[in-house]
């Protein structure tokens, strides 16, 4: 991932993949261990994988939080693999 607009676009593509291919339980979708959900108006979306949470905000902004760097690396690899198939 190289710049903010590219990263945001990739996160949104992953969000769409999880919500279209995943199983829905209540208001959260899950696909291959990645969970996705959004607020009531869709302006804020979240992706989560173990201790990694990505908040996708309006105007190409996002926030990445994680406890273990190893988990973030694993998430990145999984996301890259899924995006390559999309």
Residue 6 CB neighbour total at 10 angstroms: 11
Structural domains in the chain (count)? 1
The pLDDT assigned to 54 comes to 97
Given this model, what pLDDT does residue 1 score? 41
In sequence order, what are the beta bridge partners of 47?
36, 54
Task: Enumerate long-range contacts of 33-42, CB under 8 Å, 24 or more apart.
Answer: 33/78, 34/75, 34/78, 34/79, 34/82
Confirm whether 42 is domain-assigned: yes
Residue pointed to by tokens 């903010």:
4
Is residue 85 one of the residues assigned to a domain?
Answer: no
For residue 8, the enclosing domain spans: 4-75
Q: Look at residue 58 in the predicted model and tell me its pLDDT.
A: 84
Residue 65 belongs to some domain of the structure: yes
- pTM for this entry: 0.90
Instruction: Return per-residue pLDDT of the chain as tens, 86 residues.
Output: 456 667 889 999 999 999 999 999 999 999 999 999 999 888 899 999 999 999 999 888 899 999 999 999 999 999 999 999 87
86 domain residue, yes or no? no
Is residue 44 a part of any domain in this protein? Answer: yes
């Amino acid at each position: 991932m190289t710049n903010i607009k590219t990263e945001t676009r990739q996160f949104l593509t992953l969000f769409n993949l999880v919500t279209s291919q995943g199983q829905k339980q209540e208001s959260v979708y899950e696909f291959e261990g990645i969970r996705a959900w959004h607020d009531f108006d869709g302006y804020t979306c979240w992706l989560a994988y173990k201790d990694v949470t990505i908040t996708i905000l309006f105007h190409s902004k996002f926030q990445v939080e994680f406890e273990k760097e190893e988990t973030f690396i694993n998430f990145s690899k999984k996301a890259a693999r899924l995006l390559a198939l999309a």
